[in-house]
Structure 1
Amino acid sequence: MFKRKSDWFLILALVMMAVLFYSSSMTYHEQTSVPLLERLLHAQPLKSWLSQFSFQYAGSEQSIKVSGYFKFVEFFVRKGAHFGTYFLLGLFSYLGLRPRLTGAGLAVIFSWLATTGYAATDEFHQMLTGDRTPLFQDVILDSVGALTGIVLFLIIERLWRLKKRR
């Protein structure tokens, strides 16, 4: 049934898409990690260090002063999840499509654009979900995550091949 390794990577990409769809179907209150962070980080480690940081994201200030310690930490957890899941989706898509498309360059472009397109539709899906805020900045973050996964694989693959030649 699934004879090539690339088939499994396409299945992993589909699994990632299903996970992202399910996650986007949840309201903020259903998926907030603040209660878990309050239990795990009750001593508020690095609070004084983190308190010196303040920046704008999607037109809103992000800081401990504005959001509180746990929501500020959750911001990084959520954005890390955006980056990480799309890193994997981009990587799996590329590895699944590379043998099916002529030239690695075409596979890079198609995988990256398809993943970015999925990120955009995912944000649209969030708009339809209660208590969620779709953000163009998240599409950018997701797109960069996907491209990072693909490019990092290409760099590691290139270094591996150079090492094997020696």
Structure 2
Amino acid sequence: MNNSLKKKEKWFWGGVVLIELILFYSSSMIYKQQTSVPFLEKYVHGKPFYNGLKLIHFNYGGKVQSIENDGYYHFVEFFIRKGAHFGTYLILGVFLCLALYTYFQHNNFLRIFVPWMMATGLAAFDEFHQGLTGGRTPSVTDVILDSTGAFTGIVLLVVVLYLISRHKKINRKLI
């Protein structure tokens, strides 16, 4: 399996670069350029799940998030934006882990730790860059969310690769 991953390593690095370019572009946009609220207001009618969502309120980054405080569409957008944070860094973590996987073939701790720390550093840099953009503020809470997404992706990948490797070993013994 390591040979197969090594042969594809440049593609994994390409995925890392592509994701970073997308993140860099996104963090250089002002909020008004990337808000989905007008889209939601135009195409999401009847405020689906309103009764369930109005019961949810929590603190995120020092601000209480709720329909009462933000309104329905802004609250829904909050989940979309934070889901995008988590999901993008989950994918980034997977690509970083795949790109570095063969370098740490004898140390499973480093297979997880190094890509996770790289993704966390990239998240911190992205938030710093966002802070240089007018009307946007960097958030330590977003870095934590991004880091959690990367860690989740990396751990899932390592588990899947372990299971594939174990399955191949079992099949070789049967032959």
- Counterpart position of 2:50: 47
* 1:129 pairs with 2:133: yes
- SS, match of residue 56 in structure 1: strand
- SS, match of residue 125 in structure 2: helix
The CA deviation string for residues 22-61 of structure 1, in whole angstroms up to 9 with x for no partner, is 0000000000011111122121101011001111101101
Q: Where does 1:39-78 land on structure 2 (aligned, <5 Å)? A: 39-78=42-81
Gaps of 5+ in 2: 1-5
* 1:110 pairs with 2:118: no
* 1:159 pairs with 2:163: yes
- SS, match of residue 59 in structure 2: strand
d(CA) in 2 for partners of 1:128, 1:94 = 29
- Counterpart position of 2:9: 6
Q: Normalising to structure 1: TM-score of the pair?
A: 0.93
* 1:141 pairs with 2:140: no
Q: Normalising to structure 2: TM-score of the pair?
A: 0.88
d(CA) in 1 for partners of 2:11, 2:42 = 37
* Runs of 4+ deviating beyond 6 Å: none
* 1:150 pairs with 2:154: yes
Q: Percent identity?
A: 49
Q: How many residues align?
A: 164
The CA RMSD over aligned residues, in Å, is 1.5
- SS, match of residue 52 in structure 2: helix
d(CA) in 1 for partners of 2:163, 2:7 = 24
Comparing 92-101 with 59-68, greater Cα deviation is found at: 92-101
- Counterpart position of 2:124: 120
Max Rg structure? 2
- Counterpart position of 2:36: 33
d(CA) in 2 for partners of 1:78, 1:11 = 24
